[in-house]
Chains A and B, each alone.
Chain A
Amino acid sequence: DIQMTQSPSTASAFVGDRVTITCRASQSITNWLAWFQQKPGKAPSLLIFDASTLETGVPPRFSGGGYGTEFTLTITSLQPDDFATYFCQQYHGYPFTFGQGTKLEIK
């Protein structure tokens, strides 16, 4: 199985800051990676797929990058609504594994 490792596990930032979350795969997944946002008590919401393609309706302050085994999710100019938990997921091959999550907290 492909292991996905996210860092950091927790991040603290101010409104207006820029934050980058990293996701590493245990083997190459080319660009078959998605990023999800989840708020407490809610289902995950797809932000980015194919490593860098923004899902319809997602604000452009969110961006994704990377290829192979290392990927990033960057949020520029953090808004209050962005404080949530973020997960990466690989879909290069089954089982489609998730990273352990990054909780983004307001400072």
Chain B
Amino acid sequence: EVQLLESGGGLVQPGGSLRLSCVVSGFSFSNYAMSWVRQAPGKGLEWVSALSGNGATTYYADSVKGRFTVSKDNSNNTLYLQMNSLRAEDTAVYYCAKNPDSYGSGSSQYWGLGTQVTVSS
């Protein structure tokens, strides 16, 4: 059974940093691309970032480019999202999701439960 579990969210001041983690199980992590998607309170879904299965190719939304970094540790089946220079508009539930192939194409069939990030002074 495919499972994804995010952690690392919390309350942080503007300008601060957080690192989100997503531990996965039930599939060969190194063979699949992964994505981060967020949802601000009462708003729609916003795609944030993606990482190829081998970790060599990254993609970012313009809204986070230069501030967020996606990475993975295949030995620990863990996806990360390092978030720096956080802003109030980054406040959201952050989901990790599994892509259907290693390149990052296709829609995400499996999603985690999400972790809440709140940026506020």
Binary interface encoding of chain A residues 12-39 relative to chain B, with 1 for a CB under 8 A from any of its CBs, else 0: 0000000000000000000000101010
Q: Is B106 an interface residue (CB 8 A)?
A: yes
Asked if A91 contacts B105 (CB within 8 A), the reply is yes
Cα–Cα, bound, A98→B35 (Å): 14
Q: Is B2 an interface residue (CB 8 A)?
A: no
**CB-nearest residue of chain B relative to A98?**
B45
Q: Interface range on chain A: under 10, 10 to 19, 20 to 34, or 35 or more?
A: 20 to 34
Number of A-B contacts (CB under 8 A): 49
Cα–Cα, bound, A29→B94 (Å): 26
Asked if B47 contacts A98 (CB within 8 A), the reply is yes
Q: Is A81 an interface residue (CB 8 A)?
A: no
A55-B109 contact given A95-B61, A96-B35, CB 8 Å threshold: yes
| Chain B interface residues toward A at CB < 8 A | 35, 37, 44-47, 50, 59-62, 95, 104-109, 111-114
| Chain A interface residues toward B at CB < 8 A | 1, 34, 36, 38, 43-46, 49, 55, 87, 89, 91, 94-101
